[in-house]
Structure 1
Amino acid sequence: MSRALTWPRLLPAGLALLLIAGCGGGGGGGGSSTPSTGAPTVTGWSQQAYVKAPNAATNANFGFSMAVSGDTLVVGAVGESSNQTTITNGSTASTDTSAVSSGAAYVFVRNGTTWSQQAYLKAPNAEQGDKFGISVGISGDTIVVGASSESSNQTTITNGSTASADSSASDAGAAYVFVRSGTTWSQQAYLKAPNASGGYNFGDSVAISGDTIVVGSAYEASSQTSVTNGSTASADTSAPAAGAAYVFVRSGTSWSQQAYLKAANANAQDLFGSSVAVNGDTIVVGAPYESSSQATITNGSTASADNSAAAAGAAYVFLRNGTTWSQQAYLKAANAVQSVSFGMSVAISGETIVVGTPYEGSSQTTITNGSTASADNSAYGAGAAYVFLRSGTTWSQQAYLKPSNNNAQNGFGIGVAISGDTVAVGAFGESSNQATITNGNTASADHSLSSSGAGYVFVRNSTTWSQQAYLKAPNPDAKDRFGYAVAVYGDTIAVGATGEASSQATITNGTGASSNNSLESAGAAYVFKRGT
């Protein structure tokens, strides 16, 4: 299971302070799940690899999205610009740059402690500006990649290796499914929404668990407030950017749509579907611009119709019974206020959900275990993450996570990921110059490298969460945005740095990284391993 998300185009007040030039317009965060085996007993994290694209280029934004499953890592590069329309199995990639921001995804595998590239994935209908790789997900031998600006008007699924060459519906969006046989990857399906329309950005977010895929379409415009089970979707366009999510299932090698998910309180500009996650029969969908002032959880199929707290945000939990999906809960932050974008990132593992809120404004530097959260708003854009737990059919908040070096504009929560009792949280705006990992519950108070970025690891022991590590790149630099995307599987964490600027085009296995800065926003990914 994995998830990823994209930055909304509609920005809350103050967001300009967090955005960095050359960001590429997207967000990160990929999570993955593994069976919970109880609280981790080892505490030492170290860097295992520094991963670069073999065709590293300026503004490729490699590391924009990522997901990990077992010994396989997939990394999206939304700004990659080759015109290639085939998959390359192996360690190479096209150096063509004639299709700006067509996008790409790269597959890496681990053998022992050594990482190498296994494939370079491209869409068969790759075109300039498609943003293939804005979101990625992986489960076993299946990968799903979103291309939110793909522009065909097709409204059906194509099972197989082809895709529409039509470009009459700008930014309609698409998702592509790839499968591995041995060491060879091929395309299995091309997914489109049945109500595909220009500007819907289907593929903003994607997630996969086994034979189930969920795709977010944050700018879908119907005013429907119920779930449609089956292969249809509303053609209504009266609620611009209300958003939707679509569920697809695989039977054999064929994919079909199983459901069309809408929020019970769908409203224009909510951006429902900006983030999605799936684990088994449970899906969570983020709506970071939902605007109710409710500060409690609603278990059941309803949601608040209040709109007094613009961009407070919400997350919605859906459950499958047989082939039927229904809303199980409506999650809100315990300190919900306007413009914090709760639900910008979501992740799920088993009975636990984590929700990121990168503009939350409290200056708290400790974790609150329980159902409360700070009402302080003195550090706008500091960010927070919230952990929710299901008991039976009831969801409750278990913890409110804050980093030990919390600071305004850190963007903590831009990416979240969970695997069992381990949570990873990215803070792309964190600004310390530290170039080493801190194992434990402390973090640097330095602020000399603006938006160098950081990652944080939290672990659960019974019902109590604590900070286990503070992750930094060995080559931090201003505007690297390390932490823009995060992914976790067991004892492995991957962190993306979309603004990293080295020209290196090879993988470094071990603890090093290039200090070269000749390719602005080429991007990089870093793999960390927890010791035994």
Structure 2
Amino acid sequence: MSNNHPHLLWIALCAHGMAIAGGLPTQFERFGYTGTSQSTGSYGSAVVAIGDSMGNQGMAVGGPMTPVSGFGAVDRWFDTGTGWQRASVVTRPPMAPNGHHFGGSLASFGTRLFGTADNPPTAYVFDIQPGNQLEATLTQTLQPQLLGTAGLSTGLNIGSFADYLAVSVLRNYQDSGSVELFRFSAGQWTSTGQVLTDSRQFRSAGFGQGLAMTEDRLFIGVPQLDPQATPPGVEVREYRRPVSGNQWSFVTSHDLSGFAVPQNQPDPRLGYSIAVHGNTLVAGAPQLADANGDAVGAVLVWRYDANQDSWLPEAALFNPDMQVDSQFGAAVATNGDQILVGAPTSNALDGRAYRFQRDNGGQWQAKIRLSSLAIGLHRFGQSVAFADDGSHLVGAPGYGGGDGALYVFEGDRLLQDGFE
């Protein structure tokens, strides 16, 4: 694995870019990257597409467990047109304390990059400067509220659209979790004063484990991370942006209803991951059981109906390999007509990822299985994203004994280039 250049196995890819297993084509990486001495450590825990005002495109990759200090860091990569090049300087907040773990969650909108750190819980806002290095300038540091008795969870998640920002703190209220809303106005981000919670405050509810935002909606996952503690109540909650003022209003809860899946499951963990794009809403349920009672995992898809002004169930996509305990749905991404799904514990923790596509008839089909040529407890699929050029990005934070890696799959380009 190279940390500055295409994967050393690239030559092999020319001959072995594609394989067929179980009727589904398997595509291996075109490029694979590790972190530098400043960014290695669970590298690939988070990945997101970024860009500047001049049309330069790239990606940001989080490495929250940097050795010794545990500061955490984010690498920026820019698309050269023929490959990816790492920016010369890593992104990290100044004066970060030991064990800060910056880069565990990332989001972007326009020319902004958002990142979180968990110790103490903090959100950072960066502006991407014009230029092919995609330099990220820190513009603001936000401290979400710590509420109730702190639990053991360390995670934060973040989502943004335009001038709104949502930050979840999973440890609040004994791991019940909360989501705080921020708004950009008069040149700065300020808390709206609204903190959304699960009113039941079930311990380990995981409110905010999954988080996604559109122009006027906010979706929050409540996967219930410890079903033995309290009733499950797993769902995806939908909130509407205020027409005026700052208070988001609850709309409805989305659960397993309306999908062709066994109902009343004890531990599906619906809402563990969420992604939304246009009229497509996707939520991972990494422990959803099939008709045989096997926890193979699934992704649920809703489609927005403008006439009803509501999101209607469209499809339940099970793990194409039907592998139990693969955590299929632990990570999801969508660009509207395609869905990437991570299954980081499949194949003895090597991990896999899958791409689904909506056909002209509106039906979703599994199209390809993504896999790394390297093996060994890599948790490949822990994070997934679409780059702006259509590349598929997959994180494997367990690579190299925990150093981590990020893999790039260039959509259909392998076939177009004759690597089949």
TM-score, length of structure 2 as denominator length: 0.80
Following superposition, the deviation at residue 196 of structure 1 comes to 5.6
Match status 1:54 vs 2:36: yes
Is 1:529–2:401 an aligned residue pair? no
Deviation at 1:125, TM superposition (A): 3.4
Q: Is the 8 A contact 2:238 2:251 kept in 1?
A: yes
Secondary structure of 2:97's partner? coil
Deviations 1:4-37 (A, max 9, x none): xxxxxxxxxxxxxxxxxxxxxxxxxxxxxxxxxx
61, 64, 68: which one aligns with 1:75? 61
* Match in the other structure for 2:251: 328
- Equivalent in 117, 123, 135 of residue 86 of structure 2: 117
SS state at 1:63 partner: coil
Question: Any idea what SS the aligned residue of 1:286 has?
Answer: strand
Contact between 1:416 and 1:423, CA under 8 Å: does it hold in 2?
Answer: yes
Q: Number of residues paired by the alignment? A: 367
Contact 2:203–2:230 (8 Å) recurs in 1: no
Q: In the TM superposition, what is the alpha-carbon distance from 1:264 to its structure 2 partner? A: 5.5
Note the alpha carbon deviations across 1:389-415, whole angstroms, 9 max, x for none: 221322221100113211112110111
Deviations 1:394-445 (A, max 9, x none): 22211001132111121101111111111100001121xxxxxxxxxxxxxx
1:403 aligned to 2:326? no
Q: CA deviation at 1:57?
A: 7.9
Distance 1:489 1:110, change over 3 A: closer
Which region of structure 1 is more displaced relative to structure 2, 279-288 or 250-259? Answer: 250-259
**Residues 195/401 of structure 1: CA separation in 2 closer, same or farther (3 Å cut):** same
Gaps of 5+ in 2: 1-24, 52-56, 258-262, 414-420
Conserved in 1, the CA contact under 8 Å of 2:38 and 2:73? no
Larger RCO (CA under 8 A, 6+ residues apart): 1
Residue number in structure 1 paired with 2:124: 176
Distance 1:198 1:242, change over 3 A: closer
1:19 alignment counterpart: none
Once the two structures are superposed, residues 167-192 of structure 1 have per-residue CA deviations (whole angstroms, 9 ceiling, x without a partner) of: xxxxxx11111112224321111111
- Which aligned pairs between 1:82-481 and structure 2 lie closer than 5 A? 97=68, 99=69, 101-118=70-87, 119-150=89-120, 173-182=121-130, 183-195=134-146, 199=150, 204-221=156-173, 240-251=174-185, 253-258=187-192, 259-263=194-198, 265-289=200-224, 310-311=231-232, 313-322=234-243, 323-334=246-257, 335-362=263-290, 375-377=291-293, 379-380=294-295, 382-392=296-306, 393-431=309-347, 450-461=348-359, 462-475=361-374, 477-481=375-379
**Gaps in structure 1 of 5+ consecutive residues:** 1-42, 82-96, 151-172, 222-239, 293-306, 363-374, 432-449, 502-519
Change (3 A) 1:342 1:453: same
* d(CA) in 2 for partners of 1:358, 1:44: 21
Q: Distance in 2 between matches of 1:285 and 1:311?
A: 15
How far the C-alpha of 1:340 sits from its partner, in A, is 2.3
In 1, the alpha carbon distance for the partners of 2:357 and 2:242 equals 31
TM-score (norm 1): 0.64
Letter in 1 for 2:379: R
Whole-Å separation in 2 of the counterparts to 1:499 and 1:384: 23
Q: Which has a greater percent of helix?
A: 2
Distance 1:421 1:252, change over 3 A: farther
Q: Would the alpha carbon gap of residues 418 and 354 (structure 1) be closer, same or farther in structure 2, given more than 3 Å must change?
A: same
SS in 1 for 2:381: strand
Q: 1:351 to 1:528 in 2, by over 3 A?
A: same
Provide the C-alpha distance between the structure 1 equivalents of 2:247 and 2:393, rounded to a whole number of angstroms: 34
What displacement does 1:72 show? 1.8
1:125 is paired with a residue whose SS is coil
* Contact 2:107-2:114 within 8 A present in 1 as well: yes
Map Cα deviations across residues 56-77 of structure 1 (whole Å, 9 max, x no partner).
787x110111112462211111
State the secondary structure of the residue aligned to 2:410: strand
Q: Structure 1 residues 130, 197: closer, same or farther in 2, change over 3 A? A: farther
| Identity level (%) | 23
